[in-house]
Structure 1
Amino acid sequence: MKALVYEGVETLGVRDVPMPELRDGQSLVRITASGICGSDMHAYLGHDARRPAPLILGHEAAGVIEGGPRDGVRVTINPLVNCGVCTACRAGRENLCPERLIISMPPREGAFAQYVAMRDENLIVVPEHVPLEKAALAEPLAVSWHSVRLGLEAMDHGLGQSALVIGGGAIGLAAALALKAQGIEDVTIAEPNDARRAYLIERCGQHAVASGTGSHAIVIDAVGYAATRAIASERCCPGGVIVHIGLGEDLGGLDVRRMTLQEITFIGTYTYTSQDFRDTCAAIFDGSLGPLDWTEQRSLTDGPQAFAALRAGAVAAPKIILDPWA
């Protein structure tokens, strides 16, 4: 089969690789759409020791089961595999499982390929009326859905109902959509890139600005750099909540003194629970998250150029979807 293989820092190649081997309880999925994630970019830039070359990246995918009793069933993939028996799993917080694995991280190859083997409980059936290109957005949308749920659970709604999302990429836009779907209407996205900000306004119908202003009850940092954490610290209102999704860099930025004196809650969040993933899929399927028409489609063979364009900041669309068969 064909696959886009990460071969070294800023080096990708389309290669012929062996078909995945099926284990008990798994299905073979013929991938039709696979999104490029920020974590894929981190690996591409050599910033993720957990993803050493050579490796097939990609974990935001949808396709069709090929073979077996469910042959022909359209599915989207929850790429997180957990143990199912630890304290976190039994508590329904599978994203905190110490044994969790995700495709695109050794020993599991990723979904920038024509086929992926995935255990059946990680496959969500996609209704016929939903294009698989939209179903492939379930993973990044679930990251933001989970983050928003945690933030709203911790938020004192009596202190305000406004939200600031820092970063207008796929996770930031998804957070804005999830906030609105979960009841917060006053949402602003801070996005400094002129082309992306214009896209958010004109194509996605979002209230997007170059930099955040004012005070907000909930601030979601979908970037995760020291500079964006500093903005979050400044723009969160007293008693408010900062939800930190981004993994841009490890240290710096938080005004811990202000957060302490003003009783600002900080929540770090990673991925999603199985229930959050299912809830996100339901919101995609019933249209609660909008038309989801803000992706750019490219062929898998154009993958190296797509990564280079993202690296150069030359892509306005929040998400590029690769087609392994185009």
Structure 2
Amino acid sequence: MKALVYTAPESLVYRDEPGPDVPSGECLVRVEAVGICGSDMHAYLGHDERRPAPLILGHEAAGVVVEGPGPGRRVTVNPLATCGACRACKAGCNNLCPQRQILSMAPRQGAFAEFIAIPPENLVEMPEHVSFDKACLAEPLACGWHAMRLGARALDGPLPDARCLVIGGGAIGLGAALALGANGASDITISEANQRRVPALKSAGKFRIATPDDVMAEDPGGYDLVIDGVGFAATRATASRAARPGGVIVHIGLGDASAGLDIRRMTLQEITFIGAYTYTPEDFRDTAAAIFDGRLGTLDWAELRALENGASAFADIQGGRASAPKIILKP
């Protein structure tokens, strides 16, 4: 099969690779669309020790089952394969399973390829009217849905009454903003530094779009719920300042691992901080359902490119030349 292979930091090669091994009971899925994630960028830059080269990256996939249970089904793919038997899995928190595997991390090769192997329980069947290009967004949007759900649960009032700030206008942050809107929030600000993304963000929903400088110029404590979809020291500092006394910060982004939080203010103002990692199976199914019935909007803000041109797509993202919140590759 053809695949886009990460061979060294900032090096991707489109070449022939062996097809995936398909364990007994799993499905072979022909990939029709796959998104580029921030974690793929981290690996591409050599910043993820969990993803050593050579490796096929990519985990935001949709396609068609060609072998295994339910051949011919059009599906979107939950890339988290878990044990199903541990305490976390039994509680429905499969994302915290200590045995979890994910596409694009050994031993599972990723979806920047023509085919992947995945357990059948990780597949959500798609209706015919939904395109693969939109269905593959279920994975990144589910991260935002999970963050929204955790944040709403921690608020001291109803989500529709909350003033919300989402930091970052990539697919993760935009997904959080869309999930907030789909669940009743109406006062939603997205903070985005890359002005190339602003037209796509404005077209995606009824959001206020602000620059990071705009948000920092506001009085402290203006937001009930802050979702950081970036995860750098500067964005954590913004979140610490923006959350009101008794407010909530949900941290999704994995930009870096140090500094930024104002622990003194968070303590004195009793601000809740929640880490959010991927999503539960229920979050993934709920997100897919919201895509299928249109609650997350038209989802026409992604840019499509051929998989064979994936290396240039990564270079454009790294160089700040990509205007879309998401680039989707087509094998």
Q: C-alpha distance in 1, partners of 2:224/2:321?
A: 33
Q: Is 1:319 equivalent to 2:320 in the alignment?
A: no
Unaligned runs of 5+ in 1: none
Q: Is 1:308 equivalent to 2:309 in the alignment?
A: no
Aligned to 2:38: 38
Percent identity reads 61
Indicate which of 245, 249, 262 corresponds to 1:242. Answer: 249
Instruction: Report the secondary structure of 1:275's partner residue.
Output: helix
Correspondence list, 1:220-259, <5 A: 220-259=227-266
Correspondence list, 1:1-326, <5 A: 1-68=1-68, 70-157=70-157, 161-202=162-203, 205-211=206-212, 212=215, 213-214=218-219, 215-324=222-331
Q: C-alpha distance in 1, partners of 2:23/2:295?
A: 36
Tell me if the contact between 1:297 and 1:320 (Cα under 8 Å) persists in the aligned partners: yes
CA drift of 1:197 comes to 2.2
Read off the aligned partner of 1:182 and give its amino acid letter.
Answer: N
Tell me if the contact between 1:204 and 1:294 (Cα under 8 Å) persists in the aligned partners: no
Read off the aligned partner of 2:26 and give its amino acid letter.
Answer: Q
Read off the aligned partner of 2:164 and give its amino acid letter.
Answer: A
Instruction: Report the secondary structure of 2:184's partner residue.
Output: coil
Structure 1 residue runs of 4+, over 4 Å off?
A: 202-205
Unaligned runs of 5+ in 2: none
Taking structure 2 as the reference length, the TM-score comes to 0.96
Taking structure 1 as the reference length, the TM-score comes to 0.97
Tell me if the contact between 1:197 and 1:209 (Cα under 8 Å) persists in the aligned partners: no
* Cα deviations by residue, 1:101-138 (Å, 9 ceiling, x for unpaired): 10100111000000011111101100001111100000
CA drift of 1:297 comes to 0.3
How many residue pairs were aligned?
324
CA drift of 1:206 comes to 3.1
Tell me if the contact between 1:33 and 1:133 (Cα under 8 Å) persists in the aligned partners: yes
* Cα deviations by residue, 1:224-252 (Å, 9 ceiling, x for unpaired): 00000000000000100000000000010
* Cα deviations by residue, 1:29-64 (Å, 9 ceiling, x for unpaired): 010000000000000000000000000000000001
Q: C-alpha distance in 2, partners of 1:24/1:72?
A: 18
Instruction: Report the secondary structure of 1:223's partner residue.
Output: coil
Q: 1:285 to 1:269 in 2, by over 3 A?
A: same
Instruction: Report the secondary structure of 2:67's partner residue.
Output: coil
Q: C-alpha distance in 2, partners of 1:106/1:203?
A: 35
